[in-house]
Amino acid sequence: MHRYILFAGALLLVTGSNAQVEVEQLVVRPGERIENVFETEDGSLYFTGALNSEVLRLTPRGRVEVFVDSISFPQGILPYGDGFVIDSQDREPDFTAPGGFSFSGLGARLSVVNRRGRVINTLTGPDEDAFYNGMAFVGTDTLLIADPGGDRILRADLERGTVDVWLESDIIQGALGVTPPGPGARPNGLKIHDGWVYFSRGDIYRIAIGSDGMPTGTPELAAVTGGTDDFDIAADGTIFASSGDGIVMTTADGDSMPFLREGCGFCTAARVSRDGRSL
């Protein structure tokens, strides 16, 4: 089994199982923080370089190309229409603010780009505290977005050009407690699987999607990871989550175990391949 594992500054290929793995570097970008990756039908890997404000493409032949260089601090990328949607912000969070972090006034935005990487539309909102991070489609034109700035989950309608709140912070905090802003302390990664929205907030939690498309019930624990930036979910419900210098695997039954104990150098994300045989 082949697994693409993304971490700050490099893209890794891990071969094997959780019992024995071999690690190969596919891309190394010194001084970069690679945030997210997506595999297209032709086998290309598109990934975001936040610090250098680039979206790059690794072709099936192993060539690294700049796909977009006009979007500052890109975070996530997903296919949309004949191109992609990319979330980003104008600047990094303030790491010197009281309490350690400030997400206010980052200039969060969604950019729709065509297949050549040209920006054709942008969305912002709902307020200056928004910080767009992990995202997943819940419909053809509708995205859910993890927002660590507001400790909430947002909804973006790409057709109408609107961004509003899908899951309020008081519901999250009522179920999981109030946490100060910081890496992994608020919603970060986000995926949708089998009628549930999964999001990382330290560990990984989930909340059901109701028949009206809105959240129903309260968030519940889905995977104990010890602290996760981003993650992905295989078709069988297995969760692969970044955790420090390694990857934690959680089965559909809720059993967590190390998949990769070390070698990531601060893993930021993991992505299950299109054929389901790699990550």
3-class DSSP assignment, residue 175: helix
* 8 A C-beta contact, residue 4 and residue 269: no
pTM listed for this prediction: 0.89
Q: Is 146 exposed, middle or buried (0-12, 13-18, 19+ CB in 10 A)?
A: buried
CA distance linking residue 110 with residue 29, whole number of Å: 24
**Signed CA dihedral, 78, 84, 87, 89: sign only:** positive
pLDDT in tens, 241-263: 988 777 888 998 889 888 877 66
CA distance linking residue 242 with residue 226, whole number of Å: 10
CA distance linking residue 166 with residue 153, whole number of Å: 6
pLDDT in tens, 24-45: 666 777 667 778 889 999 989 9
Average pLDDT of the chain is 85
pLDDT in tens, 63-121: 999 999 999 999 999 999 999 999 999 887 776 666 666 777 888 999 999 999 999 99
What is the DSSP code (8-state) at residue 102? Answer: B
* 8 A C-beta contact, residue 2 and residue 15: yes
Q: Is 27 exposed, middle or buried (0-12, 13-18, 19+ CB in 10 A)?
A: buried
Q: What is the mean pLDDT of residues 259-272?
A: 73
